[in-house]
Amino acid sequence: SEVRDANAAMLSNYEVYQLLTDLKEKRKEMVKNKHSTGQQNLNTIMYETLKYLSKTPCAHQNPDTVKKFLTSMLPHKLTKAEKLQLLNHRPQTAVEIQLMVEESEERLTEEQIDELIQKVTDVLPGDPQKEADASADPEMETDQ
Amino acid sequence: MFVLVEMVDTVRIPPWSFHRQLNDAIAEELNKKLANKVVYNVGLCICLYDITKLEDSYIFPGDGASHTKVHFRYVVFHPFLDEILVGKIKGCSAEGVHVSLGFFDDIIIPPESLQQPTKFDEAEQVWMWEYETDEGAHDLYMDQGEEIRFRVVDEVFIDTSPSGPSAKKEGPSAAATAPPAGAEDSAQQKEAPYTLIGSVSEPGLGLLSWWNS
């Protein structure tokens, strides 16, 4: 095969998670085909990738939250790659933001970093199970 | 960590599949060929995204199957340089800390890219960060199974296609990445076609448990 463009577009984890979830549904109907010898590789990579992504923030995202998130990011003048990382990771601390935003000391004040954390936390859903555990335990301190 | 790659390929559909919808038969063939495989200098192929163009299908003399030139887009795992990723520690060796994402296994964090100062415990076969505080040094172990946040600092693609009957492999890509002389025994080892080199030598990187409040 010939590669025309090795980098036609960047995909968020959410987009890949959706694609694989939809493909998994479609293939459930094709019982005979998905077990044929040639399909083992696809089965394996789909299973492992879904397993990995299901434990990340993208598993709780939907098209509306992604759109809302990108809109909320407009005033911060972040690059595509930076926004993508914030979307994929949902960072909760300043040190994580600093890892994902290049030259953050020059581009973001402490207040702006806190603002980013707040937006990311408010707009992107967290893991409902983890948040239930956190609020149930009276001894745990929250960052907010 | 995922990108869309535009590709073109000729797909062969055997006659016993002629009853199927062409798009479905082609999608299946493309996934059979590419899914879970590394394309040199591109990345690890995950699954077909879509078919953008189908050219005419031809049947050639001597082969009853149809051949169709297909333009398509494929989802590929290919983190960008400096991207932050989270994986699990597979284990440690003298070469560094080995990390896996489950669907992709060949990630190495070399000793010089670990949080310094660092030491390799030969007995336990584990790397540790000799973390200094006012109370003295804590040894933070990089244990197997622990979740780890790292930065992608480099990638290595090795052309693992068969090199032909010559005695010693001396192809252009093999020469660029060849192990030092006398390492014939390592030629027996299967080299990964695509390896990511990571680093954890910044605040916020390393085991998630080190940084969680």
For residue A119, the domain's CATH number is 1.20.1250.40
CATH 3.30.1490.120 fits B2-77, yes or no: yes
Say if the Cβ atoms of B47 and A39 lie within 8 Å.
no
Instruction: Please state the ipTM of this predicted complex.
Output: 0.90
Cα-trace Rg, chain A? 19
One domain for residues A102 and A47: no
Q: What is the pLDDT of residue B39?
A: 96
Dump pLDDT digits (tens) for B199-211: 999 999 999 999 9
What is the model's pTM?
Answer: 0.88
Q: What is the pLDDT of residue A65?
A: 95
Domain-embedded: residue A53: yes
Please, which residues 37-76 of chain B have a Cβ atom closer than 8 Å to chain A? 37, 39, 41-47, 49, 71, 73, 75
Pairing outcome for strands B107-109 and B96-100: antiparallel
Nearest to B191 by CA among B45, B38, B42: B38
Dump pLDDT digits (tens) for B101-152: 999 999 999 999 999 999 999 999 999 999 888 888 889 999 999 999 999 9
| A38/B18 Cα distance (integer angstroms) | 18
Domain-embedded: residue A24: yes
Q: What is the pLDDT of residue B188?
A: 41
| B106/B114 Cα distance (integer angstroms) | 17
One domain for residues A49 and A107: no
Domain-embedded: residue A132: no
One domain for residues A72 and A44: no
SS3 A9: strand
Q: Which domain holds residue A88?
A: 60-126
One domain for residues A66 and A119: yes
A138: confidence class by pLDDT, cuts 50, 70, 90: low
Q: Which fold has domain B83-158+192-210?
A: OB fold (Dihydrolipoamide Acetyltransferase, E2P) (2.40.50)
Domain-embedded: residue A51: yes
> Bridge partners of B109?
B97
Which whole number is the average pLDDT over B75-100?
97
A88 contacts in chain B (CB < 8 Å): 1
| A87/A98 Cα distance (integer angstroms) | 15
One domain for residues A74 and A94: yes
Say if the Cβ atoms of B213 and A93 lie within 8 Å.
yes
Domain boundaries, given as residue ranges, for chain B: 2-77, 83-158+192-210
A33: confidence class by pLDDT, cuts 50, 70, 90: low
| B190/B38 Cα distance (integer angstroms) | 14
One domain for residues A37 and A21: yes
Dump pLDDT digits (tens) for A1-23: 899 999 999 999 999 999 999 99
